[in-house]
Amino acid sequence: MSSEAAVRLAEIACELCIEAGIGNLTMRAVAERAGLTPPAVVYHFGNREKLLLAALEALRQRLLATYQAIVAGLRAEAVGDMDAHSAICAALIELVATEGRAFAASDDMARALAVTAQAQQAGAVVAGMYGDAETFWRALPAVDALPEDARVLCVAVPLGLIPYAILDRVAARRNAMIVQAITRLFARLHGAAVILRETAGDLAPLEDEARPEGKQQIVEATIRLSGRLGIAGLTHRNIAKEAGLSAAATTYFYPTKEDIVVDAARVVQMRAIDAVIAGHVPPPKFPSRIALDADSEERSELAALTAFMNAAAMLPDLGNLAATFRWIRGLAAVRWLRARGYAVDRLDGIIWSSATTPLTRKALLLPKAQRAAFLDDTAEIWLHRLFGQS
């Protein structure tokens, strides 16, 4: 993709993915926005997969430009004496406000490309994006003065906080959460005493409800389809077809699409985390059991959970689902950390969940044989750095 026209088309494709989700990316949609005919887009890219790959690279360049602007602003003379804590808070607030949807879109784009002929090229772009992000967080004022083991966590935690932060559409509340989380992170990194807050919500593992056969079929069909179509592509009709039921059956059990998605998301959350840790004291090498399947690929339930979270952040009609995910964020991590013997609260759970999100993504970029050991060994080092010996 070398021509100026192809670059512009890729940027338009990137914009469409951010605005409406990858399910709405078509050659025709890009052509219409560019004022061209679909064959003109086909001429440059050949097929939708290659167009999506080009859009992912365009998104990388977009984020890189944002990173550079934020670093330049924070390193301006007027704020040259800013400490690392303040710099990270300011950068994260700005990044979420300007590019939050872009991060959600990039994850969906990468997942979609991972099962195509463009998987290797997409993996290289994703690896480059992680490199860009690491360079960005390390380039913020005063971060380079921190010890290396602290710098590593000052990259991982803010990056992992982004998908959680974008679930909250109230800017003031979202920004307050960011400041609270980064403040707690620095307290933990400095070994300072923290005042633990009572954890809201029930920390007991979720229990699935007993559903009638048809209702259960609809939930299972929704989970399967979400991985192939994205949440935006779900309809009562195609869910019914996937479930082998009539459209009337889906509307009988679930009047709206959001009702289906919320119930399916609850099941996915339970399967992704609760079913793994319920009733067990987690052994040392446990993160890989949560994140990876027997073939060292990402567990399908965890992948579906991420897809649901991204959709909740991007789609206005899934506001209730976004609120649900904000509520449960960190609660499973609290159970896990307490079972390991750490005195923590939900804010610590949010920090730990945030740290392990990019850690899992980085592990998946490695050869399969290295993934579990990298994930478990790094997580153990980070646990001790944040919370001390259990």
Q: What is the pTM for the complete model shown?
A: 0.86
- Which H or E element spans position 175? helix 171-189
pLDDT, residue 223, reads 85
Q: Give me the mean pLDDT over the 92-101 stretch.
A: 96
- For residue 1, pLDDT beyond 50: no
Higher pLDDT: 186 or 389? It is 186
Amino acid in the structure at residue 339: A
Mean pLDDT of 69-91: 87
CB-based burial, 187-218: b 16+ in 10 Å, e otherwise? ebbeeeeeeeeebeeeeebbeeeeeeebbbbb
Tell me the pLDDT band of 307, cut-offs 50, 70 and 90.
Answer: confident
Please determine, for residue 373, whether its predicted confidence score (pLDDT) is greater than 50: yes
pLDDT in tens, 162-214: 999 999 999 999 999 999 999 999 999 999 999 998 765 544 555 667 889 99
Residue with the bigger pLDDT between 183 and 109: it is 183
- Section 278-303 average pLDDT: 73
Residue with tokens 């990298």: 374
pLDDT band of residue 278 (cuts 50, 70, 90) is low
Domain locations in the chain? 4-145, 213-387
Q: Do domains 4-145 and 213-387 have the same CATH topology?
A: yes
Average pLDDT over residues 342-368: 93
Rounded Cα distance between 81 and 137, Å, is 17
CA atoms of 59 and 247, how far apart (whole Å): 37
How far, in Å, are 68, 69, 70, 257 from residue 136 at the CA level?
Answer: 8, 10, 9, 39
What is the spatial distance between Cα 131 and Cα 120, in angstroms, rounded to a whole number?
17
Say which residue the tokens 């959001």 belong to: 258
| Spatial contact of 280 and 218, defined as CB atoms under 8 Å apart | no
* Tokens representing residue 327 in the block: 């509520």
Whether residue 231 is predicted with pLDDT greater than 90 in this model: the reply is no
Q: What is the pLDDT of residue 200?
A: 55
Share of the chain above pLDDT 70, in %: 90
State which fold the 213-387 domain adopts.
Tetracycline Repressor; domain 2 (1.10.357)
Residue with more model confidence, 336 or 164: 164
What is the CATH architecture of 4-145?
Answer: Orthogonal Bundle (1.10)
Distance from the Cα of residue 344 to its chain's centroid: 23
Q: What value does the CA radius of gyration of the chain take, rounded to a whole number of Å?
A: 21
- Given a contact cutoff of 8 angstroms between Cβ atoms, the answer to whether 11 and 1 are in contact is no
